[in-house]
Amino acid sequence: MSKYVEKQVEVVSSSDGIPCSFYWNGKWTEICRVLELWKDTGTWWEGESEKTFFRIEAAGESLYELYLDSLKQAWFLYRIYD
Amino acid sequence: MAVIIKHGKAAQFVHLHTHSPFSFLDGAGSIEDMIAKAVSEGMPALALTDHNNLCAAVHFHKLAVQAGIKPITGVELTMEDGSHLVLLAKNGEGYSNLCRILTRAHLDNPRLNPRTRWGLLETYNQGLIALSGCRKGRIPALILAGRYQQAEEIALKIKAIFGKDNFFIELQSDFLPGNRSLNRSLAQLASHLGLKTVATNNVHFADKEQFKVHDLLTCVRTLTRLQDVHRERRLNGENYLKSTSEISEIFSEYPRAVANTVKIAEMCEPALKLGERLFPSFTDLPPGETAAGYLRKLAFDGALRRYHRLTHRITQRLEYELDIICKLGFEDYFLLVWDVASFARKHKIRYAGRGSAADSAVAYCLNITEVDSIGRGLLFERFMSLERAQTPDIDIDFDSRYRDTVSDYIYKKYGADRVATVCTYNTFRARSAFRDLAKAMDFPPDDIDRIAKKLPYIHADQIELALERFPEMKESGIDSPRFRELLRFCAAVSGFPRFISTHVGGIIISRYPLSDITPLQEAGKGIIVTQYDKEFVEDLGFVKLDLLSLRTMGAIEDASITIRETDKNFDYDAIPLDDKSTFKMLNKGETIGVFQLESPAQRSLQSRLNASGMEDIVASVALIRPGPIKGNMVEPFISRRHGTEPVTYLHPKLEPILKKTYGVVLFQEQVIEIATAIAGFTPGEADRLRRVMTHARSHREMEAIGADFIRKAAANGVAKEIAETIFSYITGYASYGFCEAHAAAFATTAYKTAYMIQHYPAHFFAAIMSNQPMGFYNTNTLCVEARRRGVTLLPPDINLSGSSFTVDGSSIRISLRQVKGLKENALVSILRARQKGDFISFDDFRRRVLIDRDILENMILCGVFDSLHANRKQLLWSLTDAETENIITSPLIENTVTLPPVPDFTRREKFNYEYEILGIDINYHFMTLLRSKLQEHGFITSAQLLEQKEGSLIKIAGIPIRPHRPPTRTGKITAFFSLEDEFGLIDVTVFDKTYQQYGALLFTKPVPPLQVRGVLQRRGNGVSIIARKIGRLNWNP
């Protein structure tokens, strides 16, 4: 099961743009590894910008999906897996 | 094996899985753009792997070689299970196998659904490298479905087919969900089976920005709109031609997969061999005879027949031509064409050679063409020369009814596996791009339809220009950022192919089985076509033979037959070419119905040119073309022809080229000669120019040639402005100019049809009405002209009308086929029943012929039964309910005996029905009904025009015919149309200012009857009107 979040979050990323940790629920969460990475242009005809999604594994084997909005240059927590 | 070195560095990456627009709505980057990007990235090679076709292979090969990179020919196959597999040709054998595989994939499956059997790959596995494909590949798909074991089995199967060294597992960088784990699994599988991996990007466009265009094309392909979800739509724009550094970064975990791309490129050599001799030897040679010897014999025998005696000049010319034909190795080709022409003659199928072949005396003596090139001073070098060594192109027009009989003969003679029709690519033009993309973008259907109908026939990247220039477009009512975005997308797909269709007449005959050399597939109507178009088959080495359908040939044949019924001595082939009364008719501009000379512009030209010989008609045919018109050369030509204006040349080098045509560029050959003289074009460059002109391949390509021309002309000492002006003439010629020989061939037919109209108007007009659609005008306008010439039009009659229009003295009887809805089988049953005796009553007809009620109603309403029963309304009453349901009628019909006295339709009602059903005003023209009222308001008729003074202000009215806007040099628009009244046509010219005010009336369908106020202009023997005001004629008769 997963929970849809879609909230902007603070992210610390490496020089090549890979997220290392993110701030959620009042604390920084360390990212152990990136499991998957994909890009989605969404509804470009309505002005939506490209998003780069990261499915990441954090400490305690918890799974999250983050995305970077290329236009806003902002990170969002997209989904949390139970 | 040598390591490919590019720009001094060892190459690092090559794209091996690339789609062009020839993946048909699944590729959005032009081949030119992709090659340019590969070159700029220092890539030593590029592969092209379109879906199930090699259409772009020749074009790609040429461009890549020109750009200095290695072309790798490949394809992405759709397998029998729907999965994809990429194949690359390592060499010529691999290329032939690709052709064989694709041919079977297409011809063994329903049209548009090619599928390759796995077993077929075992047969044709040599010279090929296989890549496992995209996510639709069998192996990746099985892995994604969690069926790893089966994926391995398939991999082993493919490995067994192509060999371990010729099969690579593809890793892709498409940034789709699951991509990382998929690549990991694929790499693991490869390692486990001892296979190598290869990095690809499944390229579908050159730059990331083109993703939107690709997405729209996908919507067009899948018949969806942008907001619809479809699995074919791509999630992101990552399938672009990525740079080496991007690829290296993405595949940092798989450096060998990247390096293997270069190794594969090294394993492949350019697989296409261009310029091979592929046409067959002529096999029906007399014993002991060579092809060259037999051709010589036939040519000289034919010369004796044509000229009656062989002068030194004739002999010398034939020897000269035969020497070049044989040195270039085309003696078999000439014999082959001669054989086809002989077949047509033997079977009395009328034909005439057209095109540059008319430059050849040998072709004339072989009865391939009808133009005496020696007599007319036409140069053979324009058709064939040792310097250019280009393939000859012989086009023949056949009576359209029997064209397929001729092609059947060729198929039977050379074998269906060695003969195919050449394909053509239907490309996005303004209207099709607008319709397709607007629909995908979810514009309202009514808006799409309304605007699309108004779009002229222009390139898809010229719509914005049309919006600015054409008043009916200005009124389109849509001007929003989204609309502008749509137009940008239209421009982006301009010229992209949409689908394959059949070339109008091009056939190739091959020495070898065709499927070894070109993939074949089925086009519409079950015709087997090559995947290469006429330009590409020529590049490969085929010689195309154009067997064209020309309805004029049918009309000539029909008229000749009926004329001979009354004038046994009539011989079309012996029509005198100097008939004074025919030239007199031409000089009056009375040329409606004359082949090639009937448009308003031609009629106007004829009335001013005072043609006195065939040379003038040849010039006429070439003169009224967009090139000379755009070049503003029509008026100077006429003045110079009459000696009222000095002949001038833009540059002294043009004089020897243009002297014959008074300094005017008339013929394609002159353009080539100018390019050589002014810009020093090499034969190869000149040939490229000829191809762009002839095939209208790309207006962008024309611009590129223009830049070369101007640069080279400047280097040759020609002032830039003069070079630009000269090239502007050349640009106008692109795809529109005639070569002199072609103009001469058409002029011969034009003159002879004029002769037939002058001497046998009823016969010829009946023939052209029977062969519609053809020519410039519809049947009703032809009827007006026939009447003007004193021919009476007789109504259709159940006992007197035939299947075609027939001649009855000086009258023409309307055919039964002209009745709307009357199909061939019904027509045949009527004529068969009539063979047993005339119908004596309407009931008698119904007893003897079973016919659908709706057709019967049409026949009644347009008067077909008037001679049996004059009251049409009463006949309608007699139709029973059984006929309403198209149930077989009783054999004892006697319905008309007991009919109540019903008053018939009024004269006006009958008129309306007749026009609606026959498309003809039988007894009088629509304008007759308005004439008295028009007279009251000061309108004059077309017949009264000649009495009016030059410059007088007049009012005219009529039905607008064929409004059109030919290109002009200044870019300002001048529109032309004719107003048809009961006495004939009045030609109207609408200059830009008036056009901007009233143009929408002319180019918004349906065009209503119009009234025009304007100034009368006399030019030569003709009269026309310069419009000042145009309005609807809102009067009810």
CATH number at residue B83: 3.20.20.140
SS3 B365: helix
Same domain, B136 and B257: yes
- Span B169-196, mean pLDDT? 96
Q: Is B1's pLDDT higher than 50?
A: no
Q: Is B779's pLDDT higher than 80?
A: yes
What is the structure's pLDDT at B883? 54
Same domain, B260 and B293: no
Do B235 and A39 count as a contact with CB atoms less than 8 A apart? yes
pLDDT per residue as tens digits for the range B104-121: 999 999 999 999 999 999
Same domain, B97 and B233: yes
What is the structure's pLDDT at B731? 74
Same domain, B131 and B37: yes
B108 Cα distance to chain centroid: 28
Q: Is B2's pLDDT higher than 60?
A: no
Whether residue B588 is contained in a domain is answered as no
Whether residue B1021 is contained in a domain is answered as yes
- Span B757-785, mean pLDDT? 96
Whether residue B584 is contained in a domain is answered as no
A44 touches chain B (CB under 8 A): yes
Same domain, B200 and B68: yes
Phi first, then psi, for residue B915 (nearest 5°) are -70, -40
Whether residue B632 is contained in a domain is answered as no
Whether residue B370 is contained in a domain is answered as yes
Residue of chain B whose Cα is closest to the Cα of A49: B236
Same domain, B263 and B280: no
Sorting pLDDT into bands at 50, 70 and 90, what band is B733? Answer: low
Do B236 and A38 count as a contact with CB atoms less than 8 A apart? yes
CB B923 within 8 A of CB B780: no
- Span B217-244, mean pLDDT? 96
Residue of chain B whose Cα is closest to the Cα of A47: B482
Whether residue B637 is contained in a domain is answered as no
B245 touches chain A (CB under 8 A): no
- Span B355-381, mean pLDDT? 91
Whether residue B280 is contained in a domain is answered as yes
Do B177 and A45 count as a contact with CB atoms less than 8 A apart? no
Give dist(CA B479, CA B760) in Å, integer. Answer: 55
Same domain, B982 and B883: no
* Residue in B175, B178, B226 nearest the CB of A39: B175
Domain termination residue (choose one: B267, B299, B324): B267
Same domain, B69 and B176: yes
Write the ipTM. Answer: 0.93
Tell me which chain B residues have a C-beta less than 8 angstroms from the C-beta of A40.
235-236
What is the structure's pLDDT at B172? 96
For residue B950, the enclosing domain spans 926-1032
- Span B418-435, mean pLDDT? 96
Do A43 and B181 count as a contact with CB atoms less than 8 A apart? no
A57 touches chain B (CB under 8 A): no
Whether residue B129 is contained in a domain is answered as yes
Same domain, B81 and B183: yes
A70 touches chain B (CB under 8 A): no
Give dist(CA B1024, CA B1032) in Å, integer. Answer: 20
The residue that leads in pLDDT, B10 or B79, is B79
Do B236 and A39 count as a contact with CB atoms less than 8 A apart? yes
Same domain, B996 and B962: yes
SS3 B351: strand
What is the structure's pLDDT at B507? 94
The residue that leads in pLDDT, A20 or B1008, is A20
Domain count of the fold of chain B: 5
What is the structure's pLDDT at B7? 53
Mean of the per-residue pLDDT values for chain B?
91
Domain termination residue (choose one: B918, B937, B952): B918
- Span B1023-1035, mean pLDDT? 92
B175 touches chain A (CB under 8 A): yes
Q: Is B6's pLDDT higher than 70?
A: no
Domain termination residue (choose one: B918, B951, B980): B918
Do B441 and A50 count as a contact with CB atoms less than 8 A apart? no
What is the structure's pLDDT at B166? 98
Give dist(CA B455, CA B206) in Å, integer. Answer: 29
HSE-CB at A18 with a 13 A cutoff on CA atoms is 14
Do B175 and A38 count as a contact with CB atoms less than 8 A apart? yes
Q: Is B887's pLDDT higher than 70?
A: no
Q: What is the CATH number of the domain that holds B1020?
A: 2.40.50.140
What is the structure's pLDDT at B888? 47
User: What DSSP string runs through A12-60?
Assistant: EE-TTS-EEEEEETTEEEEEEEEEEEEEE--SGGGTPPPEEEEEEEEGG
Same domain, B183 and B262: yes
Give dist(CA B181, CA B177) in Å, integer. Answer: 9
Q: Is B502's pLDDT higher than 50?
A: yes
CB B188 within 8 A of CB B214: no
A41 touches chain B (CB under 8 A): yes
What is the structure's pLDDT at B378? 85
A30-44, B47-61, B436-450, B878-892: range with lowest mean pLDDT: B878-892
Question: Residue B408, class by beta-carbon neighbours within 10 Å (0-12 exposed, 13-18 middle, 19+ buried)?
Answer: exposed
- Span B875-896, mean pLDDT? 61
Best A14, A33, A39 member to test B by mutation, with max B CBs in 10 Å, is: A39
pLDDT per residue as tens digits for the range B552-608: 999 999 999 999 999 999 999 999 999 999 999 999 999 999 999 999 989 999 999
B235 touches chain A (CB under 8 A): yes
A23 touches chain B (CB under 8 A): no
- Span B451-471, mean pLDDT? 86
Q: What percent of chain B has pLDDT over 70?
A: 95
The number of helices, as runs of H, and strands, as runs of E, in chain B is: 43, 23
Tell me which chain A residues have a C-beta less than 8 angstroms from the C-beta of B226.
43, 45
The residue that leads in pLDDT, B42 or B625, is B42
CA distance B167 to chain A (A): 28
Tell me which chain B residues have a C-beta less than 8 angstroms from the C-beta of A49.
none
* Residue in A35, A40, A45 nearest the CB of B226: A45
Same domain, B84 and B158: yes
What is the structure's pLDDT at B401? 94
Do A38 and B177 count as a contact with CB atoms less than 8 A apart? yes
Give dist(CA A46, CA A61) in Å, integer. Answer: 37
* Residue in B179, B212, B237 nearest the CB of A38: B179
What is the structure's pLDDT at B445? 94
- B129 bridge partner residues: B88
Tell me which chain A residues have a C-beta less than 8 angstroms from the C-beta of B236.
38-41, 50
pLDDT per residue as tens digits for the range B261-276: 999 999 999 999 888 8
What is the structure's pLDDT at B681? 87
